[in-house]
Structure formats: structure tokens, C-alpha cells
Structure 1
């Protein structure tokens, strides 16, 4: 059974490229365009991993991450923050609130695919 990846970003071009990349790698994919939709999609789609932007409408990626980490039902969910915010303080905050990885844009699609597979323990 294919692992599920939820892409959360408010930039349509990024969503399209990430969706293409993750589907090409064999993942089942769902998309959310803001933080509130992300939380609803987690409940409905039950992803194994989330690619989560930080700067979004309604709830930031940091708020979504904190909310998911506060819920024991999502303890096994892998969270990759994928954002243009690459200052050390932001990276430290993202990891401190429970992200499994922090990737800055622009990113290498190949490297991101490898990282997603590593987090999901897919050879």
C-alpha cells in the first residue's frame, strides 16, 4: 500500500511541482492550501507525512505543526517544514516544535524525495 503525503502550501506552482514529484515517487497525495485545511485533511486523509509551508493564510505552518504534535493520535506523523524562511532562528523553531525535518526553498526535488523516503523508511 502506498504511503500518503499531504502537501500544504498556498503557492499553486509549488503544489503542482510537489504533487508531480510525490506521485512520480509512488506516493498517494492530497493537498491543502492553508493551515486550517491542512488540519482537516490530516483527519480525513490520514497522511504518513506532511510537506508543510510556514507562511500561509488562516494558520501558519508552525501553528499546524504545534497543533499536530499536541495530539497523541498524530504521534507517528512525519512533518517536513518546506519554506523560504531559512534563518537559523526559524529552523531552530521548526525543529523545536516537532518538525522531523526543515527544508528551505528553493530545494532540490531529488534531495527532497530522498529525504521523504528516509523519513518514511522506504529504501
Structure 2
């Protein structure tokens, strides 16, 4: 089963994403902010296939977290879906420049989130298979 790491400082959002991803057949881990996310990624042997991450979080925000992930050769391949209230074009541009694979704004349709995660995973698989 694909594995998702949900990174958000709001427990109810983590619960919502976790529940919908589990119902869709994903294994799910959680992190409360960017620092927790990076610590998890650097210590786990069961790396996620995709990470959902918020922008506004304490200790380390989502953009800085994505930048750190993309700079680390061991984890840079993991797909990242930004899930945030920050929907201005400048926010989306910053996230894209940092390396996110998809961008969703809150409130989000849980079914669309699952479809977005599956789409990102499908696109990455196609890239790996192409010559």
C-alpha cells in the first residue's frame, strides 16, 4: 500500500486527511510541523510515497520544509502535495519553486485530495518508467 505522511499543526486537519487517505487504502503517518516531519523522514526506514504539508506551521513552515526535503538526496524523490489556506498566486509560485508536486487550498474536498495524491503518484511512476 502507498504510504502518506500528513504534516499539519491542526489536529482536526490531520485527522480529516488521515481518515480519507486510510479509507482510500493508504498507510498514514503524521507529523505536527516541519521539524517533526524532517525528524521522521531522517529516522524512519518506511519512507512515505507522498507527503501532504501545510504552509503555516510553528517551528518550521511548509515552504522551508519542502526546500529541506528537496535538498536531501535520500528523500528528495518523495512526492509533495501542499494543503493550505494560503491561496494567493505568490504563495503558489513560492511552493512550486520550492518543489511541490500539487497545491490544494483549504477548505478542500477530501475526494479531490485523494485524487490529487493518486495523480501525483501516477505521474511520478510514469516518469520512473520512461526511458
Q: TM-score, normalised by structure 2?
A: 0.89
Distance, in Å, in 1 between the alignment partners of 2:47 and 2:59 is 21
Q: What is the correspondence of 1:1-123 to structure 2 with a 5 Å cutoff?
A: 2-43=1-42, 44=44, 45-121=46-122
What is the SS of the residue equivalent to 1:74? coil
C-alpha displacement of 1:77: 0.4
Structure 2, unaligned runs of 5 or more: 126-131
Give 5+ residue unaligned stretches, structure 1. none
Structure 1's consecutive aligned runs of 4 or more residues displaced over 4 angstroms after TM superposition are none
Aligned CA-pair RMSD: 1.2
Local SS of the residue matching 1:7? strand
